[in-house]
């Protein structure tokens, strides 16, 4: 039985393909042999500075090869890594660091000054450059003794997600959650050492877990794509082609931008074979464009909140869907169970909407250093009165169709009451994607003025009246937006998703 994620590397890439390139960023690359030395060197430096185990160590680095070394080195020290976004405002960074109560921080000569400005002591900081040297610093027996103390319910990483009070919550994921998820993904998508994965997600976003651990588990090569390239679709596709990337796991908005500008019509195609996506609703029109260009590729829609280990459902898009059809989020991943609970806390019938709840090994341990929030979100399964069993209530509304597939409806907090009707904002967005000329969109509800506002990207300067008329072909009158805002580009958050909060704030 596998107890830690480190066993992937020890049994596989470190022994079987040590000389192969493991990680490549825009500045450097390293083989699995070098990755092993760098990571274990860092673990030795951590253990020389502190005796803590199973505690968080903060990583204050941009997405890069050194950040991968930091994550892996922390794991070898018997601790869990917590990547914090170096671009976050100082107040938010301070809130995360105060919550972590870390005794050690991993940074670089370039970025450590920002930590000092936040009140971190210099003697708490380890510069990752000290580990990325040709000398072997670590003692194998010391590392082995430390790792042997770990079990699969110990934490491996903490990822911060927004909190309703403005204080971020540290979602704490155990080794077992990652192991079950990666074992399932490798089998489901037939991942091997032949994969060259083009990473989009920052390490502060849980989608990066799949990229990292597919690399670690089967010797795939991971290409860390520079974040700036995602603003330039033509250069992005060129980068994929130059690096011979054949596997993607991206947020849909990036794929949508490429489809909207017809980038794949005008360039030599990268050798993509597997295109996975999660984190947002994928417009079916976007999917159909990509499928037309890659008729032999595997396409899969995955779904899961941060409080689950990346994803808990998946749908392999192997049948034709019309542009106006909604894309299923599919079926539960292995060793995960999905409960759809109605307002009476009973399992919903086929076609009946309810809240998607999750049980199984994929659940997070809770929110780090926050027992109150943990108790509110991870609750007893109301369908099981016989023994303690935690479920996570996602706040997402879904239903099962006649084929047993789970269909995403929207967030409970995106469900509004307007003109006496209950309305799903996601349904309005889906309709807007059917209007010719609208490349991308987001619908928010301005409660102070009771206005449904459609923000959209389009090259066409259509009047609100024309857009309302076109939307009326898909929506009843009470669901039509009251305000239309055309934008050159919708704002994005650090994960690449559309920033709904920024759009709401712009309304005043």
Q: Which of 152, 187, 210 is the last residue of a domain?
A: 210
Would residue 74 count as lying in a domain?
A: yes
Order the strands of the 366-367 sheet from edge to edge: 125-127, 105-107, 56-59, 80-83, 155-161, 169-174, 366-367
Q: What domain count does the chain have?
A: 2
Distance CA 379, CA 384 (A): 11
**What is the predicted pLDDT for the residue at 163?**
59
pTM comes to 0.87
Would residue 467 count as lying in a domain?
A: yes
**What is the predicted pLDDT for the residue at 473?**
86
The tens-digit pLDDT sequence of the chain (508 residues) is 899 999 999 999 999 999 999 999 999 999 999 999 999 999 999 999 999 999 999 999 999 999 999 999 999 999 999 999 998 888 889 999 999 999 999 999 999 999 999 999 999 999 999 999 999 999 999 999 999 999 999 999 999 987 545 578 999 999 999 999 999 999 999 999 999 999 999 999 999 999 999 999 999 999 999 999 999 999 999 999 999 999 999 999 899 999 989 999 989 999 999 999 998 889 999 999 999 999 999 999 999 999 999 999 999 999 999 999 999 999 999 999 999 999 999 999 999 999 999 999 999 999 999 999 999 999 999 999 999 999 999 999 999 999 999 999 888 877 777 877 778 888 899 889 989 889 999 999 988 888 999 999 998 888 899 999 999 888 888 899 999 999 999 999 887 889 988 999 999 7
Q: What is the DSSP letter of 463?
A: -
Q: What is the CATH number of the domain that holds 148?
A: 3.40.50.12780
Would residue 366 count as lying in a domain?
A: no
Tokens 């409970």 -> residue: 412
**What is the predicted pLDDT for the residue at 220?**
98
Q: Which of 165, 187, 210 is the last residue of a domain?
A: 210
Q: Which domain holds residue 167?
A: 6-14+21-174+204-210
| Helix residue ranges, H only, 168-315 | 175-188, 208-218, 233-242, 252-260, 284-293
**What is the predicted pLDDT for the residue at 294?**
98
Would residue 181 count as lying in a domain?
A: no
| Helix residue ranges, H only, 50-174 | 65-76, 90-100, 112-117, 140-147
Would residue 411 count as lying in a domain?
A: no
Would residue 409 count as lying in a domain?
A: no
**What is the predicted pLDDT for the residue at 11?**
95
Q: What is the CATH number of the domain that holds 428?
A: 3.30.300.30
Would residue 501 count as lying in a domain?
A: yes
**What is the predicted pLDDT for the residue at 496?**
85
**What is the predicted pLDDT for the residue at 306?**
93
**What is the predicted pLDDT for the residue at 255?**
96
Would residue 357 count as lying in a domain?
A: no
């Amino acid at each position: 039985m596998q107890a830690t994620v480190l066993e992937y590397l020890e049994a596989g890439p470190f022994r079987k393909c040590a000389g192969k390139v493991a990680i490549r960023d825009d500045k450097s690359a390293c083989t699995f042999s070098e990755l092993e030395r760098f990571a274990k060197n860092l673990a030795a430096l951590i253990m020389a500075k502190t005796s803590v185990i199973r505690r968080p160590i903060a990583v204050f680095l941009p997405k890069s090869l050194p950040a991968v070394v930091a994550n892996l080195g922390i794991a070898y020290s018997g601790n869990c890594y917590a990547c914090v976004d170096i671009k976050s405002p100082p107040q938010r960074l301070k809130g995360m660091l105060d919550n972590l109560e870390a005794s050690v921080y991993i940074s670089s000569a370039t970025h450590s000054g920002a930590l000092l400005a936040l009140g971190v002591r210099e003697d708490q900081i380890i510069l990752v450059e000290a580990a990325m040297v040709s000398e072997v610093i670590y003692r194998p027996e010391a590392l082995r003794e430390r790792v042997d103390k770990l079990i699969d319910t110990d934490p491996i990483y903490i990822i911060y997600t927004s909190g309703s009070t403005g204080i971020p919550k540290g979602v704490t994921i155990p080794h077992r959650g990652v192991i079950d998820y990666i074992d399932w993904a490798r089998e489901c998508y037939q991942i091997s050492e032949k994969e060259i994965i083009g990473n989009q997600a920052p390490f502060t976003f849980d989608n990066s877990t799949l990229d990292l651990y597919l690399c670690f588990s089967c010797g795939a090569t991971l290409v860390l794509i520079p974040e700036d390239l995602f603003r330039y679709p033509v250069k992005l596709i060129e980068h994929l082609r130059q690096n011979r990337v054949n596997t993607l796991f991206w947020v849909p908005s990036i794929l949508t931008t490429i489809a909207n500008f017809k980038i794949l019509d005008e360039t030599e195609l990268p050798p993509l074979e597997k295109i996975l996506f999660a984190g947002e609703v994928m417009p079916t029109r976007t999917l159909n464009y990509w499928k037309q260009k890659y008729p032999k590729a595997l396409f899969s829609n995955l779904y899961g909140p941060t409080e689950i280990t990346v994803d808990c459902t998946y749908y392999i898009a192997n049948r034709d869907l019309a542009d106006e059809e909604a894309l299923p989020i599919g079926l539960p991943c292995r060793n995960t169970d999905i409960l759809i609970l109605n307002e009476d806390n009973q399992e919903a019938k086929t076609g009946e909407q309810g809240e998607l709840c999750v049980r199984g090994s994929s659940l997070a341990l809770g929110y780090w250093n926050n027992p109150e929030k943990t108790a509110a979100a991870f609750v007893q399964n109301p369908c099981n009165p016989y023994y303690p069993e935690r479920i996570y209530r996602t706040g997402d509304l879904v239903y099962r169709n006649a084929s047993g597939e789970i269909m995403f409806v929207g967030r409970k907090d995106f469900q509004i009451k307007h003109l006496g009707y209950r309305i799903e904002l996601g349904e309005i967005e889906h309709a807007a994607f059917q209007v010719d000329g609208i490349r991308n969109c987001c619908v928010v509800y301005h409660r102070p003025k009771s206005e449904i506002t459609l923000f959209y990207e389009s090259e066409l300067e259509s009047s609100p009246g024309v857009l309302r008329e076109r939307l009326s072909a898909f929506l009843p009158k009470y669901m039509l937006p009251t305000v239309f805002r055309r934008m050159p580009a919708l704002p994005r958050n650090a994960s690449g998703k559309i920033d709904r909060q920024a759009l709401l704030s712009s309304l005043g």
